[in-house]
Amino acid sequence: MYSAMGICTSTVLQKNATVINFAQSRDSIDFSCTVMEIQNTGHSQCIRL
């Protein structure tokens, strides 16, 4: 579900809890930081993992 294809901001905002839980369960600090940055900016761009 979370692949190198990237995750759109809209999906992150709609399911931010799921994404953050996923990041924490994977101990992915970089991923969680990226999610927080996207939530703060609110841009409609996509990110690549």
- Output the CA–CA distances (angstroms, integers) from residue 49 to 23, 33, in the order listed: 12, 12
Q: What pLDDT sits at residue 7? A: 53
Instruction: Name which residue leads in pLDDT, 36 or 49.
Output: 36
- This prediction has a pTM of 0.18
Rounded Cα distance between 47 and 26, Å, is 18
pLDDT in tens, 4-39: 445 555 554 555 566 556 655 555 555 555 665 655
Give residue limits of the domains in the chain.
7-47
